[in-house]
Homo-oligomer: A and B are copies of this chain.
Amino acid sequence: MLQLYSIENIIFALEIVGTITFAISGATLGLEKGMDLMGITILGLTTGVGGGIIRDLIVGQTPPLTFRNPIYLIVSIITSVIVFLPPVRKWIFSKSTLYEMLMLVMDSVGLGVFTVSGIQAGYAATSIHGVILLSFVGVVTGVGGGVLRDMMAGDRPYIFVKHFYASASLIGAIFCTVLWNNIDQRIAMTGGAAIILVLRLMAARYRWSLPKANPDRNTSDS
C-alpha cells in the first residue's frame, strides 16, 4: 500500500494523465485541420510525447525515455485513434460546455505534471540546483509538446496567444523548486502541479491577462 503512493508511482500516474490530455489536444487540432487518420495520430503523438522528448534531449537522457518505455507512445496512439472515432469526434465538434471544461482541466493537469517532471529530470541530470535553471527546464518540458504541435500544424504557438499558460507553468515551477530545496520532493511536485492547475482554472474563470503593448496597433493580428 505504501508502495502504491511512492513518488515514482504518483509521477507515473500523473504523466499518463498528462500524455492522454496532450494527445487529445493534438488529435483534435488534426481533426479541425481536416487531416487523415495518420496525420491526426502523428499530431496526437507529437503533442503527447514531445515535451518529454525535448526534456530528455536537454538533460542528455538519450535515447529519450519514450523510446525505452513505450507506454507513453502507446497511450498517445490509442488516444488519437479514439478521438478519431465518429461518436467521439462528433462530441468534440459539438464544443459543449462539458467538453470545454474537461479539456481545460485535463490540459491544465498535463501542463502541471510535465512542468514538475521536467524539474525532477533537471535535478537528476545536473549538480547545480538553482531555481532559475530548474524552473526553465520545467517550463520547457511543460509547454514543449504544445509548441511542437502548433508549429507542425502551422498555427502560432498557443503559449503566445493563450493568456496565462506559460505564466502558470513558470509560477508553479518556481514554487516546486523552492519547496524541493527546502522541504520535500513529494510535496514540491504535488504542490507545484496543483498550483499550476489552480492558476489555469482561475485565469480561465476570471479571464486574467497580461499587459500588452498598443493593442490598437495590432488589430490585424488577433
Binding site for B on A (CB under 8 A): 30-40, 42-43, 53, 57-60, 62-64, 67-68, 70, 73-74, 84, 86, 89, 93, 122, 125-126, 128, 130, 132-133, 136-137, 147, 151-157, 159-161, 163-164, 166-167, 170, 209-215, 217-218, 221-222
Contact = CB atoms under 8 A, between A and B. Distances in A.
Interface of chain A, main secondary structure: helix
Contact of A35 (B31, B60, B212, B217): B212
Integer count of this chain's copies in the complex: 3
Contacts of A153: 156, 160
B36 A221 contact: no
Nearest to A36: B210
A124 to B, nearest CB: 11
Given A58-B64, A63-B125, A67-B126, A42 B159 contact: yes
Closest 6 pairs (CB-CB, A-B): A60-B62, A34-B218, A36-B210, A39-B160, A34-B221, A70-B132
A70 B137 CA distance: 12
Contacts of A221: 33-34
A155 to B, nearest CB: 8
A214 B73 CA distance: 27
28 contacts: A30-B160, A33-B156, A33-B221, A34-B212, A36-B210, A38-B166, A38-B170, A39-B160, A39-B161, A42-B166, A57-B57, A57-B58, A57-B62, A58-B63, A58-B64, A58-B67, A59-B62, A63-B122, A63-B126, A67-B133, A70-B130, A70-B132, A73-B132, A73-B133, A73-B136, A84-B211, A93-B217, A154-B154
